[in-house]
């Protein structure tokens, strides 16, 4: 079915989602009666109960079902997700951005299977069994592009020839996509501009891909969502962040460029808190990338694998 949503864009739940398709306006799963559609919302609610949806290494999205107290039951919205293919309905997922905020469209998904996860807390803190759905995204991307430096590595893989390079290209693209999928669960938007629409952002590794381990390369906490001009400054070491969240500006960044960029490059401000893992990656960025004018834009392809 045709949908008026673009992957990565933001929408008002009441007006632009339910106002068009109907369905329950509260809760994590909505099942409009007049349209062959199942709408799942991921994000803040699960975290408040002690668990959260996540992407595994095979790019399968593990989505916890609905039911606030006691064991989850395979009824209502949970059944709608599990049986959406059989029922001939399209399953779409939106990401919650916070109370009173718009919702980010992540696209169409297909439910592959489900399982029961015991020991999960309910709304009252009692342990119960939760139903978890394995969802596969049907989208090519999240509307989010790689950073300048990462894109250069992808292009190098594509430009190479031979069967080995084809395998490398596939692995690079898969790892990049998984990194982006996990990153949006960590970062909501660009810390410098406040932009949250993924179509206008880049997924930037904090610790460069070439210097990272396999696990670090696909770790969402090793990343920031940045507007393109902020991404360029961060990737090339013109800016960084302190452990307290203050912006660091290289003395080598020309003052006239700073003035013309249109960014709030104010070193006296804090641009939010970082998780402990992010702080570790930011320390590496300060030590190795920040204020290093000789730092290369690209790295040898073999460092990927």
For residues 269, 225, 181, 67, the Cα torsion angle rounded to the nearest 10 degrees is: 40
pLDDT for 47: 65
pLDDT in tens, 270-284: 998 999 999 999 999
Strands 202-205 and 145-146 turn out to be parallel
pLDDT for 50: 65
Longest CA–CA separation in the chain, Å = 61
pLDDT for 14: 96
CB neighbour list of residue 228: distance below 8 Å, 6 or more residues apart: 148, 200, 202
Cα atoms in the 13 Å half-sphere on the side-chain side of 207: 21
Residue 301 reports pLDDT greater than 50: no
Mean pLDDT score across all residues of the chain:
89
d(CA 197, CA 175): 22
pLDDT in tens, 176-203: 899 999 999 999 999 999 999 999 999 9
Cβ pair 86, 100 in contact under 8 A: no
Residue, of 133 and 156, whose pLDDT is higher: 133
Tell me if residue 170 falls in helix, strand or coil. Answer: helix
Residue 269 reports pLDDT greater than 90: no
Residue 300 reports pLDDT greater than 90: no
What is the percent of the chain where pLDDT is above 70?
89
pLDDT for 185: 93
Cβ pair 174, 166 in contact under 8 A: no
pLDDT in tens, 207-238: 998 899 999 999 999 999 999 999 999 999 99
| Dihedral of alpha carbons 237, 220, 164, 161, sign | negative
pLDDT for 165: 66
d(CA 222, CA 282): 8
Residue, of 105 and 125, whose pLDDT is higher: 105
Predicted TM-score (pTM) of the model is: 0.89
Task: Report residue 298's pLDDT band, with 50, 70 and 90 as the boundaries.
Answer: very low
d(CA 300, CA 168): 13
Question: Average pLDDT, stretch 150-156?
Answer: 70
Q: Could you tell me which of 254, 246, 237, 247 has the C-alpha nearest to residue 291?
A: 237
Task: Report residue 32's pLDDT band, with 50, 70 and 90 as the boundaries.
Answer: very high
d(CA 268, CA 249): 11
User: What length is written for the chain?
Assistant: 305
Task: Report residue 167's pLDDT band, with 50, 70 and 90 as the boundaries.
Answer: confident
Task: Report residue 288's pLDDT band, with 50, 70 and 90 as the boundaries.
Answer: very high
Strands (E), 86-199: 90-96, 103-121, 127-137, 145-146
Q: Is 304 exposed, middle or buried (0-12, 13-18, 19+ CB in 10 A)?
A: buried
Task: Report residue 151's pLDDT band, with 50, 70 and 90 as the boundaries.
Answer: confident
pLDDT for 302: 36
pLDDT for 29: 96
Cβ pair 165, 154 in contact under 8 A: no
């Amino acid at each position: 079915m045709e949908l008026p949503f673009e992957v990565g864009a933001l929408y008002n739940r009441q007006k632009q989602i339910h106002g068009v398709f109907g369905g329950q306006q509260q809760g994590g799963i909505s099942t409009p009666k007049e349209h062959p559609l199942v709408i799942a919302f991921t994000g803040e609610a699960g975290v408040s109960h002690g668990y959260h949806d996540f992407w595994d290494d095979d790019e399968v999205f593990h989505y916890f079902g609905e039911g606030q107290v006691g064991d989850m039951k395979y009824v209502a919205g949970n059944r709608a997700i599990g049986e959406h293919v059989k029922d001939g309905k399209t399953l779409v997922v939106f990401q919650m951005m916070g109370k009173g905020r718009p919702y980010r469209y992540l696209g169409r998904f297909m439910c592959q299977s489900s399982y029961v996860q015991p020991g999960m807390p309910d709304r009252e803190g009692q342990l119960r069994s939760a139903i978890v759905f394995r969802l596969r995204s049907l989208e090519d991307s999240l509307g989010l592009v790689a950073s300048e430096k990462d894109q250069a590595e992808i292009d190098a893989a594509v430009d190479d020839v031979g069967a080995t390079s084809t395998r490398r290209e596939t692995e690079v693209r898969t790892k990049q996509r998984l990194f982006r999928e996990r990153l949006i669960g960590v970062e909501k938007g660009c810390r410098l501009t406040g932009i949250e629409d993924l179509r206008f952002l880049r997924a930037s590794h904090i610790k460069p891909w070439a210097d990272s381990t396999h696990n670090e390369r696909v770790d969402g906490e090793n990343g920031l969502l940045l507007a393109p001009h902020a991404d360029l400054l961060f990737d090339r070491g013109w800016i960084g962040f302190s452990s307290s969240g203050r912006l660091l500006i290289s003395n080598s960044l020309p003052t006239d460029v700073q003035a013309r960029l249109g960014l709030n490059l104010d070193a006296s401000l804090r641009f939010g808190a970082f998780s402990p893992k992010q702080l570790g990656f930011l320390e590496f960025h300060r030590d190795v990338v920040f204020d290093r004018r000789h730092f290369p834009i690209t790295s040898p392809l073999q460092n990927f694998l």
